[in-house]
Amino acid sequence: MAIDLCYLQSMYLDSCTRKDVLPNPSILSGFYKAKLRKSRHELCSLEIFLDQLRDVDFHPLLDVFSAIDSSEIDAVDMLHESSRVLFNGEHVASLIRAVSQKLRVVDLQDLSCGKSFFRDLSQRGFMCQVLNLRSSHIRKLNMTGNFLQLQTLNLDFSSSLTGFQEGCFSCMPNLMRLSLCETRISNLWTTSAALSKLPSLQELRFQNCLCCNNTGPCPTSSCEKSNSFAYRETGFGLLYPPGGPPSSLRDDFIFQNIQYSGTEETFNELFSTAMLLDNLEVLQSTTDESSDESELDFSSHHQVAGNWVEILSNTIPELTGQDDPENLVNTFGPTISFSTNSPILMPFQFPEEVSISKIDSPRIPHDTHESTLFDDLNSTVSTGDEEGCSTNDLNVRPTVASSDGCRKTYISYHPSPICFEKHYREYMIALLPHLKVLDNLLVQNADREKAKIIFSQHYEYLPHNIQCKESVVSILRKREIGTSTGLQKPPKLKQSTYSSVKSQYSFSRSLSAAKVGSSPWPLLYPVSKARSNSGEYIKRFRPRQFEYHPSDPSLMVFGTLDGELVVINHESGKLVGYLQSVGALHSVLGLCWLKKYPSKLIAGSDNGSLQLYNICQMASTVPDRYCSTDAAMFMFDEFEHLTSVHVNSTDELFLASGYSKHVALYDIGSGRCLNVFKDLHREHINVVKFAHHSPSIFATSSFDQEVKMWDLRQGPSRPCYAASSLRGNVMVCFSPDDYYLLSSAVDNEVKQLLAVDGRLHMKFNIASTGSAQNYTRSYYMNGRDYIISGSCEENVVRICCAQTGRRLRDISLEGRGSRSSMFVQSLRGDPFRDFHMSVLAAYLRPSSKSEIIKVNLLSSGDYTQENSNSQHCHPLYGDRSDSAK
């Protein structure tokens, strides 16, 4: 017979008497409410409020819970309603596990029990049905314990949460509802892969509707005939620039006070507010110097540095009440505040054919996020010319058309960064076929069909246009018996060297596709620390530029911010050659190997020095003090403010460019400067590149928004052609066969040109951030199959098919500790290994050490090597090292 409630209560009172403890009123209240529910023939649940417990209440309550499974209690809910913590975290875990089979809800929102508690929770699990971890301090979710009964998981407002460990949801086969609003999750690929391990998942949200507190469908989002919302193909999950807002301020923004006139490009160029607000995240985190390498983060995320408002007030006068200065565009004025509940106007980019009209409606509360799910919007852009209309009268409240013609306004609360990815909703629907509700909106058949179309247009599911996953064992078996691998015919290519790709490499490409498709978590590990021959680490460097060796797959050279030159075996990590800086420290910005003389390379520093080195004459250890060396073979004439050097295909000549409009031509054999080509561009020339096969053809990229092709045989009087960009060009490089020219302009404007005449072949649809200092660099990978692209204000490397422009994957770089994001300073595809690359990643804090991180897309793993986890400040934009190649 089940123990009745009265007896259970008397057990509690007797235990308090034995332990000389006063009964806790909240526990007695819980018994009373449970009796009341039982008398009404309702579910008899016992509610225990953790924030009302003291340590002395632990043992009496534990005695009660030891008999709870054989009592009349149907369910036990462990709740936490305030920020108070009166109870030991270890006691909390013990009480929760003592309930065992009848545990229903565990609500731990805002409960700070320490890292050991959350680590124990992740590793051991709870046998509850609902787990509320709102505002938790988990940085990367890795829940491997027993969560077999879990049906609902709430991680809203976990502002440290950036992503998921591989397999973190494998222990939750019955999870049906998951909420991740206002987290820092941003990667579509790792997120969808992690969520695909949840076979029962039906309701998911990364942002919530205005009127919804749970993950279910919004009761007001449907008309009588249909609950389906249609989306424009060019629309975003939220009304926001394609790149979304800066990570730390995505939580509170609202579009208001907008006037607009002019073209879309004019509108996009008005502000760099996104860059400024992005820095707030860094300043918020500068007080955290934790060296803990766990996946938990207990730093404060809501403090604001006192000098930040002062910094912004110099740019945005609304903060101080000043009038608009002349250097601000007067078409509209942003309203920016750093109160958590205040509105923030961010740079905005209109999707194609989308317009906004004046709508008379009350202001939206400041804790909401106004956004839209687009369909056919027929309103017009108001320019503020109407009589009596001012910017304060305008309020953006776009509407959404459902499939039956009903028009609704979708108000989004607390979006995570992933919501700002273009085609976010279609991507998630296409890869999560069992999903029924996304962001409080029903997913219906029409949504799925449209998602499939959009996904196929903009994303590659697997490399080389392979449509279905195949196991490595299956591919090897087919290779042995000589049958087809299922590799689809690649796009027709004009170049003869690529026409036989399928016949020669079909099986190897299928193997690569199978490995790349097996996990979106690639293996990442640093190579910035050198080892001695005995295997001991001898020094950790601060690299600033690097290059793979052109003929030895194991070698890499990098120059450091301290003026050092390091040759390393990047496979073993062993130091091959080392040359320390002489005199004042100058960053090495230009590096180029000679092809016919594989032991030699040219290095240039930002002080203008240029030298030819022989790595065979370098020291193989790092000396304790300065030692002279014979490694320097030639000292060339200096090139002031150097940023780039490149050797031609015959190793006879090399070019140097820098913070000037000129390019210098040097003869390697004699060591002389042959010529200085004056005024090739209107602004400084950041990068110069020779063609891979023609010794006289070279290209230049300049911040005058032009890329130019030159031929030494024709002289510098006139370029072969010039191709324009909308922003300043940071990078240019030839494809390995010289068929294409890849140009990278500021803020993710990446284009592929036909090298023969400069015609546009492909413009890669990479979202801009709105920052004029977001220097973008792009290179080829796997020959000319893919391009890899990264920018200095983002921690993402994007991989796109060079022939179709479709996105294959985004690789997110994360440091250890609170908000220690890593930003892409430079990158290179491995010339010898498909789907391998290296990334020069820099932290925001100047004193932090940059790292070269190798990325292996064919292997799965996490970045578990030692990494810096201290806080960082933003780099000094305009510094020469930022805009170097």
What stretch of H or E contains 502? helix 501-518
Of 818, 811, 878, 807, the closest CA to residue 843 belongs to 818
pLDDT confidence of residue 408: 54
CA distances from 748 to 383, 455, 687, 805, 806 (A): 29, 21, 17, 14, 15
How, if at all, do strands 706-711 and 685-690 pair?
unpaired
Q: What is the pLDDT of residues 636-684, one digit of tens each?
A: 999 999 999 999 999 999 999 999 999 999 999 999 999 999 999 999 9
At 190, phi and psi to the nearest 5? -70, -35
Residue pointed to by tokens 């709508």: 359
DSSP tag of 102 = G
pLDDT at position 823 over 70: yes
Of 605, 612, 654, the closest CA to residue 635 belongs to 612
Q: How many of the other CB atoms lie within 10 Å of CB of 152?
A: 18
Three-state DSSP class for residue 306:
helix
Residue 394 is assigned to a structural domain of this protein: no
Of the three residues 157, 180, 207, the one that is the final residue of a domain is: 207
Gap between the Cα atoms of 408 and 406, Å rounded = 6
Count CA within 13 A, CB hemisphere, residue 407.
8
CB 188 within 8 A of CB 211: no
What strands lie across the sheet with 851-860, from one edge to the other? Answer: 522-526, 851-860, 836-842, 823-829
Which span out of 70-84, 604-618, 687-701 was modeled with the highest average pLDDT?
Answer: 687-701
The dihedral sign for the CA sequence 55, 60, 64, 65: positive
Region 809-826: mean pLDDT is 78
pLDDT confidence of residue 86: 62
DSSP tag of 68 = G
Residue 850 is assigned to a structural domain of this protein: no
Region 91-107: mean pLDDT is 88
pLDDT confidence of residue 69: 86
CB 122 within 8 A of CB 145: yes
Question: What CATH number did the domain enclosing 108 receive?
Answer: 3.80.10
Query: If pLDDT is split at 50, 70 and 90, which confidence band does 845 have?
Result: low
CB 802 within 8 A of CB 780: yes
CB 857 within 8 A of CB 836: yes
The token pair at 169 is: 């949801």
pLDDT at position 357 over 70: no
pLDDT confidence of residue 113: 67
Residue 27 is assigned to a structural domain of this protein: yes
The token pair at 732 is: 């240019």
pLDDT at position 261 over 80: no
Residue 47 burial (C-beta neighbours within 10 Å; 0-12, 13-18, 19+): buried
State the amino acid at position 247 in one-letter form: S
Gap between the Cα atoms of 767 and 242, Å rounded = 5
Query: If pLDDT is split at 50, 70 and 90, which confidence band does 267 have?
Result: very low
Greatest Cα pair distance, the chain, in angstroms, is 101
Q: What is the pLDDT of residues 496-523, one digit of tens each?
A: 444 444 445 677 777 788 888 777 889 9
DSSP 328-376: S-TT----B--STTS-B-----PPTT--------PPPPTT-EE----S-
CA distances from 137 to 124, 129, 417, 680 (A): 18, 21, 18, 53
Gap between the Cα atoms of 84 and 220, Å rounded = 36
Question: In which region does residue 156 sit, left (phi positive, over 0), alpha (psi from -120 to 50) or beta (all else)?
Answer: beta
pLDDT higher at 533 or 41: 41
Of 758, 764, 762, 786, the closest CA to residue 776 belongs to 764
Residue pointed to by tokens 């403010």: 641
Q: 261-270 burial, b for 16+ CB within 10 Å, e for fewer?
A: eeeeeebbbb
Query: If pLDDT is split at 50, 70 and 90, which confidence band does 879 have?
Result: very low
Region 120-132: mean pLDDT is 89
The token pair at 423 is: 């085609």
Residue 649 is assigned to a structural domain of this protein: no
Region 146-170: mean pLDDT is 91
CB 779 within 8 A of CB 765: no
What share of residues in the chain are helix, strand, coil (percent, to 5)? 20, 25, 55
The token pair at 373 is: 């799910």
pLDDT at position 525 over 90: no
Of the three residues 207, 232, 253, the one that is the final residue of a domain is: 207
pLDDT confidence of residue 91: 82
Region 344-358: mean pLDDT is 32
pLDDT confidence of residue 87: 66
Region 133-139: mean pLDDT is 85
Gap between the Cα atoms of 721 and 758, Å rounded = 7
pLDDT at position 23 over 80: yes
Contacts of 568 (CB under 8 A, 6+ apart): 527, 530, 555, 556, 557, 558, 574, 575, 576
Three-state DSSP class for residue 3:
strand
Of 743, 748, 711, 738, the closest CA to residue 724 belongs to 743
Region 222-243: mean pLDDT is 36
Whole-number average pLDDT of the chain: 75
Q: Which of 23-37, 164-178, 573-587, 852-866 has the lowest mean pLDDT?
A: 852-866
pLDDT at position 39 over 70: yes
pLDDT confidence of residue 833: 94
pLDDT at position 852 over 60: yes
Within 567-722, residue ranges assigned H as helices are none
pLDDT at position 277 over 50: no
Gap between the Cα atoms of 157 and 179, Å rounded = 10
Gap between the Cα atoms of 416 and 185, Å rounded = 6
pLDDT higher at 408 or 58: 58
Of the three residues 207, 242, 259, the one that is the final residue of a domain is: 207
pLDDT confidence of residue 875: 29
Contacts of 482 (CB under 8 A, 6+ apart): none
pLDDT at position 312 over 80: no
Beta bridge partners of 610: 604, 636
Query: If pLDDT is split at 50, 70 and 90, which confidence band does 400 have?
Result: very low
pLDDT confidence of residue 111: 67
Query: If pLDDT is split at 50, 70 and 90, which confidence band does 230 have?
Result: very low
pLDDT confidence of residue 623: 76
CB 139 within 8 A of CB 295: yes
pLDDT at position 584 over 90: no
Domain span at residue 105? 5-207
DSSP tag of 727 = S
Residue 824 is assigned to a structural domain of this protein: no
The dihedral sign for the CA sequence 370, 375, 379, 382: positive
Residue 80 is assigned to a structural domain of this protein: yes
Residue 129 is assigned to a structural domain of this protein: yes
Gap between the Cα atoms of 435 and 448, Å rounded = 10
Residue 233 is assigned to a structural domain of this protein: no
Q: 394-429 burial, b for 16+ CB within 10 Å, e for fewer?
A: bbbbbbbbbbeebebbbbbbbbbbbbbbbbbbbbbb
Count: domains in the chain: 2
| Percentage of the chain exceeding pLDDT 90 | 49
Calculate the CA 269 to chain-centre distance: 23
The token pair at 564 is: 């050092």
Query: If pLDDT is split at 50, 70 and 90, which confidence band does 481 have?
Result: confident
